[in-house]
């Protein structure tokens, strides 16, 4: 079930915290302590782990930067690449002078707006998702960290037929300062290289796109940005490492300028940043 002893230790610690409601350090400080748990609970957890279900779903929590987000099978498990994306946006927000309006499209667990709202308070945060259950989980995370995020149910692929008022921020000109998105970008043909813990448990509508049109979300979101970003505003994407050039060209075609493709910690093309031209 686990490939090495450190994975076993992580599992034992998470099981211990789930039973006792206490953190890991308690297990380290009191190794001999006896704990009470129903055999049924422990058996079901072990059975789920045996079937390769991610621990983030079994224990309903995932570490992300300084946070511990609620997760379940309806939302993608937050990834380290997305931590980098958040830090990049955070640096930018720290430099903005006036209260910015910041939108995350396809928010899932809400890890992007909730961590940004915690790090850079005082700005207005908005988040869209198509899935009611994802929005519910994102709400829980915003509440857990006491953040105000304006969550809205939006199908971004169909934004052109939505009522404009349902898409714009609550300010005078109805424009955002920053738009962020980590949309689905894994091509169907890449499934064969993926592990069963991802394929069997994570929501496919948050991960996969058809090979025939892998940038479908990027096109729709870039067009949305061209309509709803203020001049000088920024669009931040997490991207498929194989599609850096194509994504950059598409963003330019949609009217964005100063497009940059940025590498992640593993030296893969992972982020695209662009600006809305100042007229
Ligand atoms: N980085 C994720 C993965 O490799 C994909 C996230 C996404 O599709 N937006 O599984």
For residue 81, the ligand 1 atom closest to its alpha carbon is 1
Q: Residues 188, 213: contact at Cβ < 8 Å?
A: no
Three-class SS of residue 65? coil
Beta strand residue intervals within the chain, DSSP E: 62-64, 67-69, 101-105, 124-129, 149-153, 176-181, 186-187, 208-209, 229-238, 257-263, 269-275
Per-residue confidence band for 32, with pLDDT thresholds at 50, 70 and 90: confident
Rounded to whole angstroms, the maximal C-alpha distance in the chain is: 68
- Rounded distance, CA 57 to CA 71, Å? 6
Residue with tokens 């099981």: 15
- Rounded distance, CA 232 to CA 279, Å? 9
Q: If we measure between CA atoms, which residue out of 4, 9, 57 comes closest to residue 197? A: 57
Three-class SS of residue 109? coil
- Nearest protein Cα to ligand 1, atom 10: 207
For residue 207, the ligand 1 atom closest to its alpha carbon is 8
- pLDDT of 4 reads 77
Please give the model's pTM, rounded to 2 decimal places. Answer: 0.93
- Using the mean position of ligand 1's atoms as its centre, give its distance from the Cα of residue 184 in Å: 7
- Nearest protein Cα to ligand 1, atom 9: 184
Tell me the pLDDT tens digit for each residue of 127-141: 999 999 999 999 999
For residue 208, the ligand 1 atom closest to its alpha carbon is 8
Q: Which residues line ligand 1 (CB under 6 A)?
A: 79, 81, 182-186, 198, 207, 238
Beta-bridge partner residues of 236 = 180, 273
Tell me the pLDDT tens digit for each residue of 115-125: 999 999 999 99
Q: Residues 90, 119: contact at Cβ < 8 Å?
A: yes
Choosing from 130, 182, 215, 247 the residue with most ligand 1 atoms within 8 A of its CB, the one to mutate for a pocket test is 182
- Decide if pLDDT at 173 tops 80: yes
- pLDDT of 8 reads 83
- Using the mean position of ligand 1's atoms as its centre, give its distance from the Cα of residue 128 in Å: 18
- Using the mean position of ligand 1's atoms as its centre, give its distance from the Cα of residue 35 in Å: 37
- pLDDT of 98 reads 74
Q: If we measure between CA atoms, which residue out of 169, 144, 173 comes closest to residue 154? A: 169
Choosing from 76, 84, 208 the residue with most ligand 1 atoms within 8 A of its CB, the one to mutate for a pocket test is 76
Q: Residues 233, 179: contact at Cβ < 8 Å?
A: yes
């Amino acid at each position: 079930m686990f490939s090495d002893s450190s994975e076993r230790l992580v599992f034992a610690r998470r099981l211990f915290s789930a039973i006792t409601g206490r953190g890991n350090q308690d297990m380290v400080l009191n190794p001999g302590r006896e704990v009470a748990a129903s055999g049924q609970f422990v058996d079901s957890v072990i059975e789920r782990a045996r079937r390769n279900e991610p621990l983030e779903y079994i224990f309903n929590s995932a570490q992300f930067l300084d946070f511990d987000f609620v997760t379940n099978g309806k939302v993608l498990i937050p990834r380290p690449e997305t931590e980098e994306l958040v830090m990049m946006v955070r640096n930018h927000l720290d430099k903005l002078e006036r209260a910015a309006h910041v939108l995350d499209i396809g928010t899932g667990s809400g890890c992007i707006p909730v961590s940004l709202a915690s790090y850079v308070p005082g700005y207005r945060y908005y988040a869209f998702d198509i899935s009611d259950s994802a929005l519910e989980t994102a709400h829980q995370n915003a509440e857990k960290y006491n953040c105000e995020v304006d969550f809205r149910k939006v199908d971004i692929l169909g934004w052109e037929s939505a009522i404009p008022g349902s898409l714009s921020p609550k300010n005078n000109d109805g424009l955002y300062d920053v738009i962020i998105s980590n949309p689905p970008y894994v091509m169907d043909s890449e499934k064969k290289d993926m592990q069963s813990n991802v394929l069997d448990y994570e929501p496919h509508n948050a991960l996969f796109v058809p090979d025939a049109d892998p940038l479908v979300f990027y096109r729709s979101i870039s067009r949305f940005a061209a309509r709803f970003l203020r001049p000088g505003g920024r669009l931040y994407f997490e991207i498929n490492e194989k599609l850096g050039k194509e994504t950059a060209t598409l963003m330019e075609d949609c009217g964005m300028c100063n497009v940059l493709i940025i590498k992640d910690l593993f030296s893969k093309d992972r982020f695209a940043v662009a600006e809305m031209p100042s007229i």
